[in-house]
Structures are given as structure tokens and as C-alpha cells.
Structure 1
């Protein structure tokens, strides 16, 4: 089984955002959704539904972002 960074996609309320993706990125998302479906034994997810968990994972694992966010929060407390 292929080890992917994303697990099953949870259903959650959402905010509507419109965005354009390059065709190559959309093809990659579709391929990722297909592989994810095979790994979780579910039907392939809609590729668009992968965007949110991918962004959450990216932001959640970005140490530079976390550090900057902590520093910003610390500065806000000093005011």
C-alpha cells in the first residue's frame, strides 16, 4: 500500500471559494484522489476535496510558519 500524507477526507461545513488551477495540478489532484481511494478502499474522492486537507497538512507541518505565528502572538500579548 502506498503511504500518502493524507488520510480519509472528512465531511465538514465549508466556505465557498472560487479558484482556477493549472490543468497539470488538476490532473495531479485527480491521480492523488484515485490512489487515495485505492489505499482507503473507498471510491476516489473528488479532486477538489483534496485541496483543503492538503493545505491544512502543509500549514500544520510548516515549522517556519508556526514559529512566525508564535512570534506574532507573543508580540500581540505585549501591547
Structure 2
């Protein structure tokens, strides 16, 4: 084989290797995201999720200050 052909085959093999690794990373990330969604679906909403959902309903005429303060306290507690 000529040197030029060998270089092309080598470059093509390198692209396949890099592309395969990238596909593997994307599949792994997708599976991780999917398992989180399934876990979330099976467990149902937790207390925090329910509180945020209630506080952001479109049909509320005005904000519920007590609920907003409770959400703020939960966030501050998680940060510390």
C-alpha cells in the first residue's frame, strides 16, 4: 500500500474511534437522565416539588407569601 493510502486508512480509523467514544458518552448520559426520570416517575412528587408546583399555578390570583417564604427557607437550608 502507498503511504498516502495508509495515512487515509489511519485517519479514518482514528475518526471511527473518536466517534465511537462520543456515541458511548452520549448514550451513557442519556441512560443516566432516563433512569432519573423513571425514578422520579415511580416515586412521585416529593414535598418540595409539590410546594413549588402549588406556588406556581397559573390560576393563582396573587402569590402566597407564606408559601414563597417556605420555599426560600428550603433552598437556604439545602445550601448550608
With structure 1 as the length reference, what TM-score do the two structures score?
0.28
Structure (1 or 2) with the larger CA radius of gyration: 2
Larger relative contact order, structure 1 or 2 (CA cutoff 8 Å, min sep 6): 1
With structure 2 as the length reference, what TM-score do the two structures score?
0.28
